Structure 1
């Protein structure tokens, strides 16, 4: 078991940001600056070609910390952020670039690469959760959520399917046969967002993934527009979702 080592710390707008490593896995933990007692934890999976401190990750983290008093953690996926790229990463990225340039479908490449990353990420997320729960401000036995769209869904669904410590999850903007099969094993509350006019994911495929979740409590948010046009208020909705299911309370408009 790897221990967690903090490597940097800063504070802004009521949020403490701490960089950490678990073995060779780099991550960041956001927490309330008030130093409150033990609080729920939300894990966020970042999107493809992004990283743990991408503005979307930072924005979601600050919402969850300031509005709910939660701790929020993100780790760099293999081949992303501060992690070195392997020859496999470079081949897949080159294949994606060529597909974009020639107008060929990118979805088969994205699905193939994301399934590879999901396999690598699963033990890393579980090791990170083990280490985070050693912190007194998080502890064992407390509520844990997972939040991720696109690649964050591709890597998160397999994790939530096998990790009993995660008790609520928000996903979206993804579909594949492998993810559908894993979704059938998920029974915790789920919020799922999709774009009705997604140019990469057929509408029927997004609906099939939502239908596959075995949760008795699940909510579908279908918004008009293409994949990159998902409304910003979906992040606010996720905050309220986690507040309901992890025991927090939204303390300011979300």
Structure 2
């Protein structure tokens, strides 16, 4: 892991890093000593590791909870090279996906390949992060990601025993249903009742599929992009319950 930039403001230190082809950001309390819980953030479609909502969330978890927080760019996003796949994901195709219609097998295959690569990159990133002072191997790790962040995050968490608790949402059963059954850690799941991209029934099936003994559904009215701001505080309380001993 190579750090390429560092800034500190309002008690939060932000460091940008590269790890092979992976580009990421790390936020931590300024001048803090000792190991602390780590929360990984998965960005949504069309976003990146430093999208304003993600930075706001990262700084909240650092200042309110005392966590260290990390995010990486999914292949094709942020500082990563664009993919041909993204040229094909037109609004019309997105509508077809949301309505459950058949899509081009090449597109479906490409999305699955990107998700598989992103899962492997998250595991590589977690390995490197746990070698850093202030995090440490064996400490509690949380994952937050909705929409694309869940499409990648659910299979990542299903395959990664180091994750202690996770917040997911805004994703379809067709995308993550099989992997959700292998997730057994505590889960908070966000669902928008009037989601125009993920049919309500599909989101509810994802929640039902999780194998967790502790799982909570947060359903709010409104479209895909209208998750209420108070869900940020709710997720912080959730992580404090499960990551702080």
TM-score exceeds 0.5: yes
Inter-partner Cα distance in structure 1 for 2:168 and 2:113 = 19
The answer (yes or no) to whether the contact 1:115–1:154 under 8 Å persists in 2 is no
Relative to the length of structure 2, the TM-score reads 0.92
Could you tell me which runs of 5 or more consecutive residues in structure 1 were left unpaired when the two chains were aligned.
249-254
Q: In structure 2, how many angstroms separate the alpha carbons of the residues matched to 1:49 and 1:197?
A: 21
Provide the residue aligned with 2:199 in structure 1.
202
User: Judging changes above 3 Å, is the alpha-carbon distance between structure 1 residues 226 and 87 closer, same or farther for their aligned structure 2 residues?
Assistant: closer
Note if contact 1:48-1:150 (Cα within 8 Å) is conserved in structure 2: yes
SS at match of 1:229: coil
The alignment covers a number of residue pairs equal to: 239
Of 48, 51, 55, the residue aligned with 1:51 is 48
Equivalent residue in structure 1 for 2:83, among 63, 81, 86: 86
Tell me, yes or no, if the aligned pair for 2:3 and 2:16 is still in contact at 8 Å: yes
**Cα deviation, residue 229, structure 1:** 1.6
Give the alignment partner of residue 63 of structure 2, picking from 61, 66, 88. 66
Give the Cα–Cα distance (whole angstroms) in 1 for the partners of residues 194 and 91 of structure 2.
Answer: 23
Provide the secondary structure at the position in 2 that maps to 1:88: helix
In the superposition, relative to structure 1, how do residues 176 and 208 fare at CA in structure 2: closer, same or farther (>3 Å)? closer
Provide the rounded CA distance (Å) in 1 between the counterparts of 2:49 and 2:77. 9
Are 1:114 and 1:154, in contact at CA under 8 Å, matched by a contact in 2?
A: no
Structure 2 contact 173–205 (Cα < 8 Å) conserved: no
Match of 1:105 in 2: 96
Other-structure match for 2:188 = 191
State the distance in 1 between where 2:21 and 2:159 align. Answer: 23
Q: Which runs of 5+ in 2 are unaligned?
A: none
**2:156 matched to which residue of 1?**
159
Contact 1:115 1:155 (8 Å CA) reproduced? no
For 2:129 and 2:191, the matched residues in 1 are separated by 31
Asked whether 1:246 is paired with 2:243, we answer: yes
C-alpha distance in structure 1 between counterparts of 2:189 and 2:123, whole Å: 23
The residue aligned with 1:252 is none
Which 10-residue stretch deviates more, 232-241 or 138-147?
Answer: 232-241
- Secondary structure at the aligned position of 2:212 is classed as coil
